Amino acid sequence: MRARPPVTDWATDFDHLDPRWVTDPFPIWDEMRTACPIAHTERFQGVYFPSRYADVRAVAYDTDHFSSRRIIVRETPPPPIPAPPITSDPPEHRPARMVLLPAFTPDAIKKLEPRTRALCNELIDKFIARGTADAAVEYAQEIPVRLIAHMLGLPENDGDLYRRWIKMVLEDGITDINAVIQASTEMQQYFMQHVQARQQAPGDDLISYLTTVEFKGQRLTPENVIGSLRLLLIAGIDTTWSGIGSCIWHLAKTPPDRIRLVKEPDLMPLAIEEFLRAYAPVTMAREVKQETTINGCTFKPGRMVLLSFPAANRDPEMFPDADKVVIDRKENRHAAFGLGIHRCIGSNLARLEMTVAVEELLKRIPEFTLDGNVTWSEGTVRGPRKLPIRFA
Amino acid sequence: MADPKRLKIRVDPDKCQGHNRCKAVAPELFVLDDYGNAREAGDGTVPAGMEDKAYLAKSNCPEFAVEIIED
């Protein structure tokens, strides 16, 4: 990536690709919240950044003024690449979402738990004897890749292909529009071949479900099916990989929390929610559709808004001790999965994967520490990309 | 002796977005539809001894969709 001019003022010239932001954004957001709660930048053709929970919430709820047709801030906007329902606004949003929801209810997702536990243990088997591992590369990233492939009925060893597309869309694509277009074209071809195969011979996987499901007596168009598949693949992998990685990172550097979770496994659900709050992986975006004013800031049409659920989750007005990770926090209305009509459709799946991944790791390797430099992804999804740990 | 307060819960269907947090913290008090959206179980009356769970469900709903009515 080419060098970017360094940021001199976070309130008027922020850059979410700045290395300081990528490594440790929390002090920057804390400063913004008091100095300038809705920051802006002329970079990326103009972007706003609300850092308070209330303002993030206001934008998320206001689908009249803020559109989801662009949900990633890029230097050059690419042609629209629909991935309904995440890129849909009302009224198209609701039917596109309704067809997907039944596949992601808690009961539907619960059926994946045995496969998830087995998968985690297969991964641990490969590195446990070594005494060291890269928990991001060898563990966290493999779990969602294989589970989504399992759900969609795709070969689990196509994982390298998925990770390549995800990096092209979510990371390289912020500054290189050709990477987005190239990845979209390849995904289109890949999914088209699988959709056609399911039309001939449907199975019990999610692609078969999408090719045969009817909404108000109508099947989805092939473009709609492929768009939704693109969403499930991109949104279901990087995000959960980051979530799992952040849990392990926290436990590696915070022995009291790790020891407590080993002794009190019943705390796990609360702990997972707290990790989701403190290390929420996903920052969405919206395009300003019509001029409006929130908290004294005028949003100009055509510009983008970074919708930082991670920043909202660290707002002390909403969360007492917002900067502390309290693994038994009882009241936790965190926004890690978004707010309003675009609530993450895979939230139950993500929770299952994070819970099982941490539980199985702690069962097999109750003691571990960081063992070298950790690196973080940049852009839409934040999580460890290198996470060396040492044990026993 | 005065009766203890009877609580009733209600999920606002216009606010619920299916986060399922209420169902996770108080499974006895909520039911989910085929789309994963929640509503109160039965007529929403909170059985004695489950008041804490009802308040926990309310204070964990990201959409502020869970209401508690004190009779």
- Closest CB from B23, B56, B61 relative to A330: B56
The reported pLDDT for the residue numbered B4 is 62
Task: Spell out the residues 6+ positions from residue A265 whose beta carbon is closer than 8 angstroms to its own.
Answer: A359, A362
With an 8 Å Cβ cutoff, are B18 and A101 in contact? yes
Do A275 and A240 contact (CB within 8 A), yes or no?
Answer: no
The CA–CA distances, whole Å, from A285 to A28, A251, A303, A337 equal 19, 30, 10, 13
Full set of structural domains in chain B with CATH: 7-70 (3.30.70.20)
Residues of A in contact with B34 (CB under 8 A): 101-102, 105
Categorize the per-residue pLDDT at A79 as very low, low, confident or very high, splitting at 50, 70 and 90: confident
C-alpha–C-alpha distance, residues A51 and A6, integer Å: 21
Per-run averaged pLDDT (10 residues), chain B, 71 residues = 77 98 97 98 96 97 97 77
Q: Which amino acid is at A245?
A: G
For residue A296, with 0-12 CB atoms within 10 Å meaning exposed, 13-18 middle and 19 or more buried, which class applies? exposed
User: What integer best gives the mean pLDDT of chain A?
Assistant: 95
pLDDT in tens, A241-275: 999 999 999 999 999 999 999 999 999 999 999 99
With an 8 Å Cβ cutoff, are A348 and B20 in contact? yes
The CA–CA distances, whole Å, from A46 to A10, A28, A40, A137, A304 equal 14, 19, 7, 34, 6
pLDDT in tens, A197-224: 998 999 999 999 999 988 888 888 888 8
Do A165 and A186 contact (CB within 8 A), yes or no?
Answer: yes
Neighbours of A117 (CB within 10 A): 16
Test mutation, A329, A347, A355, chain B, max B CBs within 10 A: A347
CB distance from A330 to chain B under 8 Å? yes
Domain over A10-390 is classified CATH 3.40.50.300 = no
Domain borders along chain A are 10-390
pLDDT in tens, A217-238: 888 888 889 998 999 998 899 9
Residues of A in contact with B39 (CB under 8 A): none
pLDDT in tens, A311-345: 999 999 999 999 999 999 999 999 999 999 999 99
Vertex B41 angle, CA B40 and B44, to 5°: 60
Measured in angstroms, the CA of B12 and the nearest CA of chain A are apart by 13
Beta strands A304-308 and A283-288 are antiparallel
CB distance from A265 to chain B under 8 Å? no
Selection from A89, A41, A82 nearest residue A66 by Cα: A89
